Amino acid sequence: MADMILQADNLTKSFGGLRAVGGVSFTLDVNEILGIAGPNGSGKSTLFNIVTGIPFGPDSGRVIFEGKEIQDVAPEELARSGLARTFQRESIFPSLSAIDNVLVSVEHNGRRARPKDNEAAAVLALDMVGFPQTLHNAPTATLPIFFRKTLMMASALAMSPRVLLLDEPASSLTPAEIEHMKALILKLRAAGIAILLIEHVLPLLMTVCDRLVVLDQGQVIAQGLPNDVVADPKVIEAYLGQGQ
């Protein structure tokens, strides 16, 4: 039986009269890739927000990471303890170079080290996502979108996560870039990182995910093996029927 590393238990989040997440539960096992799918506005990114506490936690429910409840733990402490994420919108420092962006994470991961060691850790994170060494010192604002996305992933990896939450890493990429992203996600799992993956690119989800959870209007409408989930009539109506 697989070892569970992350559990969401009946999570809810409302904004005024709108319930964005309503009673969502799921589990993530060690070395598993769990996909979170659903149409726009179904609550996927809000779910990531309340799991990580960035920028807000849940109204109710529990988040359990490695056996401990974390819904009231500060986001920076969560990141240092092994739970890291990327964002749907690029969260980078455009005026900094690529390597300096990663150094920000390295220097805030709770491990004090010499500048030389910090730089080596940043280079290691960039190498892990296949970021070209020729672009290490390039201003982040000048990078193509694929490299900005992999830079965000490198910054998250610099926190040495055991669970990585990826919010639409393939969005706006070309087919060739999506193939590179697919290989990278599988590489991270092979390195021992459990991954929670939000994505609209269905072929990517079907290829890399061990299981899928589908949300609609803030609630889970199906979960299980990818082939079973995409054949569910509720999913076809709510998700596939909208051309996602």
- Tell me: the pLDDT tens digits for 67-76? 999 999 999 8
- What integer pLDDT is reported at residue 243 of this predicted model? 44
C-beta of residue 12 within 8 angstroms of C-beta of residue 57: no
What is the distance of C-alpha 46 from the center of its chain?
Answer: 12
Q: One-letter amino acid identity for 81? A: S
* Residue 87 is assigned to a structural domain of this protein: no
pLDDT at 92: 83
Sequence-distant (6+) residues with CB within 8 A of 171 are: 88, 199, 200, 201
Instruction: Please check whether residues 125 and 235 belong to one and the same domain.
Output: no
Q: Is there a domain that residue 189 lies in?
A: yes
Averaged pLDDT for residues 192-199: 97
Average pLDDT, the chain: 92
Q: Is 182 left (phi over 0), alpha (psi -120 to 50) or beta?
A: alpha
Residue 188 shares a structural domain with residue 232: yes
Taking 80 as the threshold, does the pLDDT of residue 91 lie above it? Answer: no
Q: Is the same domain home to 60 and 23?
A: yes
The domain boundary, picked from 139, 159, 179, lies at 159
Main-chain dihedrals φ then ψ at residue 227, nearest 5 degrees: -65, -35
For 12, how many CA atoms within 13 A lie in the half-sphere containing its CB?
A: 11
pLDDT value of residue 162: 97
CATH of the domain at 66: 3.40.50.300
Whether residue 171 is contained in a domain is answered as yes
Residue 222 predicted with pLDDT over 50: yes
Mean pLDDT of 202-218: 94
Q: Look at residues 211, 205, 215, 202 and name the one whose alpha carbon lies nearest to residue 39.
A: 215
Tokens 């005026």 belong to which residue? 95
Tokens found for residue 207: 């290829």
Q: pLDDT at residue 33 above 90?
A: yes
150 and 167 together in one domain: no
Would 54 be classed as within a structural domain? yes
